[in-house]
Amino acid sequence: MAVDPLFAHIAIGGMNHHTADMDMLEQFRFGDEEQFLADIQVHFKGAILLQTCNRVEILVQGTGAGLTEYLHELGRASFEVREDLDAIRHLLEVACGIDSMIVGEDQILGQLKKALAAAQTAGACSPLIEQCVNKAVHVGVEVRRRTEINRGAVSIGSAAVTLAEELLGTLTGRHILVVGGGEIGMLVTQALAAKDLTAIYVANRTYARAVQLASKIGGKAVTMAEMHRYLVLSDVVISCTSAPHPIIRCEELKEVMKGRCWPLEGHPRPLILIDIAQPRDVEVGADQIDGVHLCTIDNLRTISQNNLDYRKSEASRAQTYIEEELNQFVQLINRKAADDHLSMLHSWAEQIRVRERDRALARLGSEDQRAVAVVDDLTRVLVKKLLTDATFSIRASAECGEMEAAASLVHAITQGEKLCIQKKE
C-alpha cells in the first residue's frame, strides 16, 4: 500500500540491543537526562529521550542530518539514524514490542509514556512529538489486543530469573537477593514468587519500597547498608537499580567472597551476579574475583532468541497492522504540520474582523454593551463560517502531503496571489 509523503521531518537516532552490547550502550547513554532535554531544545522544535536497559534513542522533530550532526557534537559515534517514514515505522515497532530484546514485552509502553512526560516537564516536547508518541502507544496497545504477541511474554526481569535457573539447574532451596525496587525489580520479584525458594531478600535505596515488594512475595526487606551481609548469604543476586554509578564494588565483593569460604576449602562458594541495570550496578572487573560469575543484559540474548522463535507468527501479524496504520499516522502528522499555515490564515482574518468590528461600532455610535457583544459575536461567526471550507481544504491538502497546495491556498486568500494548480498527468 502506497504511503502519502511526509511533510514534517521526524528523525530517530541512537543505539539498541540489535547492534550494541552493554558497554557500547553505557558509553552512549546520557547520564543527566534533565540537562540533555534542556540543551536539545535549542537545536530542535521537539524531542524526547528514550533510555531503557537495552536502548538509548532520541526522537526529534527535525532532519536526520541535523540529528546526526548534533550527536556528533556531543561526542557520540557508531549510532544509527532513521528519518521520516523509516523513523515513524521504527517508533511503531518499538511501541509494539517487535523491536524489543524480549519480543512482545509490555514495559516499553510505560517507558515511552515516562519519556514523553519527562520531555513535557522539561519543555522539550513539541505538539508534533507528543502526537507521535501518543499515537505509537495507542498502536502498541491495539497490536497487543489484536495479536498474541505478548501472550505469556517474559520481561527483562523474568528473563533474568530464567537465566539464573538455567545457570543453577534449579532455584529450589536457593537464596536470592534482588537489589532495586523499580519497575524491573517488581517484575523480578513477581517471577521469583513462582519459584520454590528458601529465601528472597529485597534491597532498595528507599526501605519502604523494599518492604512493599517483599511483603507481596513473602520475602525479607533489607536496607542498602545491610546488603553486604545478604550478599554473603545469597546464591544469586539480581541487580536492577537506576543508580548512576555502581553500587556493588569490587573491593566490597572481595570481602564478601571471603565470607563465603568454608574453613577447609580454598575457594568461596560461587556467587552469581546478574546485572540488568543501565548504567551497570556491578563495577567492571567483578568477574575477575574468585567465585564470582557475572552476567549482564548481553547474556539475556539467548532467552530473547527463544522468545522470538515462539512469537514469529504474531510479530508478523503485528508488522502487517503497523503497515496498515502507517498512512494514517502520516496523515495525522501532516495535518499537524498544517497548523502554521492555518495560524497565519486565522490571524489575518482576526485582524480584519477586529478592524471592521470597531469601524461598525464607531458608525453606530453606541456604547450599549449588549450591542457591542452582538456585533462582536456576529463578526466572529461570519469569519468562522467563511473560513470553514478553506480550513478543510488546507488540512486535506496537508494530510496528503501536498503542503505546497496548502501554502498556495493561504497565500491566495491572505495576499491575493494567483492560485496555481498543477495538472496531474
Q: Determine the average pLDDT of the residues in 45-62.
A: 95
> Start-end ranges of CATH 3.40.50.720 in the chain?
156-305
Per-residue DSSP letters for 250-273? Answer: HHHHHHHHHHTB-TT-SSBPPEEE
For residues 89 and 219, give the distance between their C-alpha atoms in angstroms, rounded to a whole number.
Answer: 43
Measured in Å, how far apart are the chain's first and last C-alpha atoms? Answer: 21
- Which among 278, 48, 284 is positioned nearest to 182, based on CA atoms? 278
Average pLDDT over residues 383-408: 79
CA distance 402 to 5: 8
Q: Are 120 and 330 in contact (CB under 8 A)?
A: no
The string of pLDDT tens digits covering residues 234-249 is 999 999 998 889 999 9
CATH code given to domain 156-305 = 3.40.50.720
Classify residue 296 by its DSSP letter: E
C-alpha cell, 263: 574453613
Classify domain 10-152+311-335 by CATH number.
3.30.460.30
What are the residue numbers of the active site?
Answer: 53
Query: What 3-state DSSP class applies to 204?
Result: coil
Residues at the binding site for substrate are: 52-55, 100, 105-107, 111
- The binding site for NADP(+) comprises 180-185
Question: pTM for the whole thing?
Answer: 0.76
Tens digits of per-residue pLDDT, 127-184?
889 999 999 999 999 999 998 888 765 688 888 888 898 889 898 999 999 999 888 8
Give the distance from CA 367 to its chain's centroid.
Answer: 57
CATH 3.30.460.30 in the chain is located at 10-152+311-335
Which cell numbers hold the place of 382?
461570519
Residue position matching grid coordinates 511483603 = 215
DSSP 87-147: HHHHHHHHHHTTTSSSTT-SHHHHHHHHHHHHHHHHT---HHHHHHHHHHHHHHHHHHHHS
- 10 Å CB burial of residue 177 (0-12, 13-18, 19+) is buried
